Amino acid sequence: MKLLYVNTMNTLLVYLYGGKAHVGACTASLNFSPLKQCKTLKFAKHHDDVVTKKVTRVMQKKFSGPLAVFAGIHYDQITKKQIESIVNNSEKLANKLLLTVADHKRN
């Protein structure tokens, strides 16, 4: 699984993909206090929203601007254990990204 991102001063776009890359879901967040809105779009027969929601929750802890997380992960004949691993790895990638985004804000 891989993660790409674009940080445009105050807006963060994140794309997680693996296997047959596509867009299966997107979660968008306005993380302004006191307003914290989050909406998810999921395409039929896709479960990528599990990843987009988890990564959005991680990013909301430290990133205060608008945020959109896209995911498209597809592996044929994947097992439940492999799916759990993908979800866990997406959280790890999000935490690493938070460090990168924080470093860019300091520069």
pLDDT per residue as tens digits for the range 76-95: 999 999 999 999 999 999 99
Q: What is the mean pLDDT of residues 29-52?
A: 85
Q: What residues pair up with 69 in beta bridges, in sequence order? A: 14, 27
With CA atoms as reference, report the closest residue to 102 among 61, 47, 70: 61
Q: What DSSP state is assigned to residue 31?
A: E
Amino acid, res. 100: T
User: For the chain, what's the residue count?
Assistant: 107
At 106, the pLDDT band (50, 70, 90 cuts) reads very low
10 DSSP assignment: T
| Cβ-based burial of 83 (10 A; exposed 0-12, middle 13-18, buried ≥19) | middle
Instruction: Using a pLDDT cut of 90, give the percent of the chain over it.
Output: 66
Identify which of 54, 47, 86, 83 has the alpha carbon closest to the alpha carbon of residue 69.
Answer: 54
pLDDT class of 42 with cuts at 50, 70, 90: very high
Task: Please report which helix (H) or strand (E) contains residue 71, including its range.
Answer: strand 67-74
pTM of the predicted model as reported, rounded to 2 decimal places: 0.88
**How would residue 35 be classed by pLDDT, with cut points 50, 70 and 90?**
low
**Region 3-23: what's the mean pLDDT?**
92
Most confident of 25-39, 60-74, 78-92: 78-92
* CB-CB neighbours of 62 under 10 Å: 14
